[in-house]
Amino acid sequence: MMIDHVNRYIALRRATGFKLIDPERVLRSFARFASERAEDHVRTESAIAWAGESRSHLERHRRLATVVRFAMFLHAEDALHEIPPHDHFRVRQVRRTPHILSEEEIARVIVTAAKLPPDGSLRPLTFTTMFGLMAVAGLRRKEVIELRLSDVTEDGLHIRQTKFRKSRFLPLHSSSVVQVQRYLEARQSVAAETDHLFVSLRRQKLAGHTVLTTFHKVCEQAGIGRTMAGRLPRLHDLRHSFAVRALRRCLVSRDQVNRHMLALTTYMGHARVESTYWYLESTPQLMRDIASACENFMEGGRA
């Protein structure tokens, strides 16, 4: 049955380090669809019909792409499995230009978060520390939410088994260490039901949507307006802002740039250095810096 193929595929890929949470859900849905058609092999017609049930074009593309990878795996051992065309629902994905918060805007976020209700609760200190860490260490939302009490050391933070199952240690500036220790002292006085570093008013692990909605509320109260596209800054823009500031502080010689870029890639937990270089072409501030450097180089060359 198709579900047996799915179980084997998921188990094998997880053994090589992939989490496959969404792909598993998607493939199980496809397996049910194929079973209703009494099909034990991947059929292009069925895969396209199943993917086409999604409302958005992007989701149809993603669903079919998941089945294509699955079909390629099965086809290698049984040619009766058909490989659907990967570009049948092709869409051009454009990554949103990051909203780079200035140091003054980040300071306003922290000050505003410190005024969150209720008075006397751990909540204001929770979000000032959380947003501050994301801004000064470039943490992902899930990484900061999943921090445990044991991950905090005198020198920095252990980020364990996050994206791509990579773990890393993040050294922190002494001022950040002081803030984290201040929060940790307050947190340890709370008898929570979890050992997560950041907890909700119910003394449970914070939910991702709670962190996001709180950040949006804080931005609005801090007077940080919407972008040209009418969107509020994203929580992930704190990470983007950290990366851009780190790149702008880099010295200009080629060897120093290469070392700096590699160090930043490691610090941020990127799987490939290309993910870090993306900031150079997607951020207006950095593009202006590059243009100025090129102009100065050309003027010097003419001289």
Intra-chain end-to-end CA distance of the chain, in Å: 73
* pLDDT recorded at residue 229: 59
Domain ranges of the chain: 2-75, 103-236, 238-302
The reply to whether 270 belongs to the active site is yes
The reply to whether 160 belongs to the active site is no
Fold classified for 103-236:
hpI Integrase; Chain A (1.10.443)
Annotated catalytic residue: which of 96, 163, 203, 259? 163
The reply to whether 239 belongs to the active site is yes
The reply to whether 28 belongs to the active site is no
* pLDDT recorded at residue 91: 67
Annotated catalytic residue: which of 9, 183, 267, 279? 279
* pTM: predicted TM-score of the whole model, two decimal places: 0.66
* pLDDT recorded at residue 80: 96
CA 230 to chain centre: 22
Q: φ and ψ at 241, to 5 degrees?
A: -65, -40
Annotated catalytic residue: which of 60, 63, 187, 239? 239
The reply to whether 279 belongs to the active site is yes
Low-confidence residues of the chain: pLDDT under 70: 91-95, 161-165, 227-230, 250-261, 270-303
